[in-house]
């Protein structure tokens, strides 16, 4: 009996010891990663808020402070793509919503305003909040009302915020998300440029590029089949003319968020390597990465130095989203070449293994242009042209001829095409390269020659002219033949 009691005592002691061990390790973690909320804050400031791709300056005070945030919800119709409108629900008038920057330990006094012209109640769920719904319940308001709540920014990190009013998916799908950065009190190491980039999807009644006002399509959202996947709220919002700009030798920090509502982003920058990534926007850092996953409702902070000039493409490497649905932003790096890092094309020469011909896009069956062709009617040309267009041109110029901002010029109402004396015949026969101006936008890219016979070229051009608003008319195979022989 005695020995049993002794063993029992040891047993209890062991349990206690393990328990204490567990408790103490828990306390260390909590101390390390969260903040003592009893610590005082001194003074107060109004937060500077910015629209993408801009990031507010860091708060310079050495101590924690009260940060007052005023955010206004505005429902408004804006551009989603060229010729395409959408009624967005916004935090601050743009999609994504305003960027908010505070520090770990700051007390955030949040004021949410629902504009009186809005149709619906809204609220905000900030992932940076420790508290029910991230502030959702505390901030739910009807149009024409304001709500106020405060929270202590306990954990550092880059956090998504979004509306959480039912149906939540629909509020997010209509544009209600943004980022809040909770920086360590001492701040992140300085870099030359900080940018705000946020990916998200739009589920529209019409297909990608279909003109006019588009409505939200619930079925597509349920099926996770968006026609638009975009960076910073619209096709081309931060590319082409709107690209971010830096100089060779400068360092860049990207605050990348994913509003979803459904898709996970395989975030990649074509032409750079991430020197450092704060994985999922937290404190864990990884180095030397090509692609980092950004979950829906999550983020990443990515840093790199720009050693050589050129245009960097920020994409979701689920790549059809980037080149066919809009998930593309650009950073233009200007400055001197650095041939020690990258030479550019050193030379180009003809490569002709036996039996091959000059590089061109082959359509498979090609007939000789000497062949006598029976001319077709307008209807026949349009029907044949549509199929041929989809096979040979759609990959770059898009199904509806919209092109891709900054990369492939539009064929819809193209002043460049309309000004060509040959109606575009030689562009198809010979290809095109060098700088051109289409409807005021510059392109400098390469279109390879497309190998098609006279009859096929005539059908495609008839289709492009009639269907894409370049003036009507029937283009004949004989005309194509004439231009081909001129060359």
The residues that touch Cu ion, with contacts defined as CB under 5 A, are 122, 163, 165, 171, 176
CA distance 378 to 7: 99
CA distance 447 to 381: 23
Task: For Cu ion, give the closer residue by CB, 74 or 248.
Answer: 74
Q: Which of 243, 247, 307, 244 is nearest to 273 (CA)?
A: 307
Min dist. Cβ of residue 367 to ligand HEC (A): 16
Tokens standing for 477? Answer: 């195979």
Q: Which 424-463 residues touch ligand HEC, going by CB under 6 A?
A: 424, 427-428, 432-434, 436, 438, 443-448, 450, 460
Tokens standing for 352? Answer: 């002709």
Q: CB under 5 to 8 A by kind: which of Cu ion, ligand HEC, none does 460 bind?
A: ligand HEC
Q: CB under 5 to 8 A by kind: which of ligand HEC, Cu ion, none does 416 bind?
A: ligand HEC
Min dist. Cβ of residue 227 to Cu ion (A): 22
396 belongs to the binding site for ligand HEC (CB under 6 A)? yes
Among 67, 237, 393, 398, binds ligand HEC (CB under 6 A): 393
Distances (CA, A) of 463 to 389, 397, 479: 8, 14, 15
Q: Which of 405, 324, 395, 409 is nearest to 361 (CA)?
A: 395
DSSP 251: E
The footprint of ligand HEC on this chain (CB under 6 A) covers a number of residues equal to 30
Task: For ligand HEC, give the closer residue by CB, 150 or 430.
Answer: 430
Q: CB under 5 to 8 A by kind: which of ligand HEC, Cu ion, none does 171 bind?
A: Cu ion
Task: For ligand HEC, give the closer residue by CB, 27 or 420.
Answer: 420
Three-state secondary structure of 349-365: CCCCCCCCCCCCEECCC
Task: For Cu ion, give the closer residue by CB, 97 or 410.
Answer: 97
Beta carbons of 49 and 97 less than 8 angstroms apart: no
395 belongs to the binding site for ligand HEC (CB under 6 A)? yes
Among 376, 397, 465, 481, binds ligand HEC (CB under 6 A): 397
Among 408, 453, 458, 476, binds ligand HEC (CB under 6 A): 408
Beta carbons of 195 and 239 less than 8 angstroms apart: no
Task: For ligand HEC, give the closer residue by CB, 274 or 416.
Answer: 416
Tokens standing for 29? Answer: 């973690």
**Which residues is 157 bridged to in the sheet?**
182
CA distance 458 to 394: 17
Task: For ligand HEC, give the closer residue by CB, 60 or 435.
Answer: 435
Beta carbons of 157 and 130 less than 8 angstroms apart: no
CA distance 291 to 310: 19
Q: CB under 5 to 8 A by kind: which of ligand HEC, Cu ion, none does 443 bind?
A: ligand HEC
Among 204, 414, 462, 466, binds ligand HEC (CB under 6 A): 414
Segment interacting with ligand HEC (CB under 6 A) among 123-131, 134-142, 260-268, 392-400: 392-400
CA distance 103 to 64: 7
Residues that bind ligand HEC (CB under 6 A): 361, 392-393, 395-397, 408-411, 414, 416-417, 424, 427-428, 432-434, 436, 438, 443-448, 450, 460, 464
């Amino acid at each position: 009996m005695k020995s049993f009691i002794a063993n029992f005592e040891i047993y209890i002691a062991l349990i206690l010891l393990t328990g204490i061990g567990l408790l103490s390790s828990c306390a260390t973690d909590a101390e390390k990663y969260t903040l003592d909320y009893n610590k005082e804050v001194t003074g107060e400031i109004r937060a500077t808020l910015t629209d993408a791709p801009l990031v507010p300056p860091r708060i310079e005070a050495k101590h924690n402070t009260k940060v007052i945030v005023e955010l206004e919800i505005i429902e408004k119709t804006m551009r989603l793509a060229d010729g395409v409108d959408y009624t967005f629900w916004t935090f601050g008038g743009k999609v994504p919503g305003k960027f908010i920057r505070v520090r770990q330990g700051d007390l955030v006094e949040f004021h949410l305003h629902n504009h009186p012209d809005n149709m619906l109640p809204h609220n905000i769920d900030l992932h940076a909040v420790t508290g029910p719904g991230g502030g959702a319940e505390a901030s739910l308001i009807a149009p024409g009302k304001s709500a106020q709540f405060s929270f202590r920014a306990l954990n550092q990190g880059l956090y998504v915020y979004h509306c959480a009013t039912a149906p939540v998916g629909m509020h997010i799908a209509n544009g209600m998300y943004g980022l809040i950065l909770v920086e360590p009190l001492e701040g992140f190491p300085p870099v030359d440029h900080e940018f705000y980039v946020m990916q998200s999807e739009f589920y529209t009644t019409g297909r990608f590029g279909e003109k006019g006002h588009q409505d939200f399509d619930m079925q597509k959202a349920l099926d996770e089949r968006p026609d638009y996947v975009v960076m910073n709220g619209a096709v081309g919002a931060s590319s082409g003319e709107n690209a971010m700009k830096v100089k060779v030798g400068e360092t860049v920090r990207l605050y990348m968020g994913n509003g979803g509502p459904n898709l996970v982003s395989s975030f990649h920058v074509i032409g750079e390597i991430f020197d450092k990534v704060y994985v999922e926007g937290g404190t864990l850092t990884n180095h030397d990465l090509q692609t980092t996953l950004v979950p829906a409702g999550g983020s990443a902070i990515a840093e790199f130095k720009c050693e050589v000039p050129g245009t960097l493409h920020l994409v979701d490497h689920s790549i059809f989203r980037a080149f066919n649905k809009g998930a593309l932003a650009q950073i233009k790096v200007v400055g001197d070449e650095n041939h020690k890092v990258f030479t550019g094309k050193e030379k180009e020469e003809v490569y002709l293994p036996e039996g091959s011909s000059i590089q061109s896009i082959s359509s498979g069956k090609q007939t000789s242009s000497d062949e006598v062709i029976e001319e077709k009617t307008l209807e026949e040309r349009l029907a044949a042209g549509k199929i041929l267009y989809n096979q040979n041109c759609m990959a770059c110029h898009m199904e509806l001829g919209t092109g891709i901002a900054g990369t492939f010029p539009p064929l819809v109402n193209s002043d460049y095409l309309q000004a060509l004396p040959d109606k575009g015949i030689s562009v198809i026969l010979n290809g095109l390269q060098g700088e051109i101006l289409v409807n005021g936008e510059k392109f400098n890219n390469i279109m390879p020659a497309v190998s098609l016979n006279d009859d096929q070229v005539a059908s495609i051009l008839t289709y492009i002219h009639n269907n894409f608003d370049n003036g009507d008319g029937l283009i004949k195979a004989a005309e194509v033949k004439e231009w081909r022989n001129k060359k």
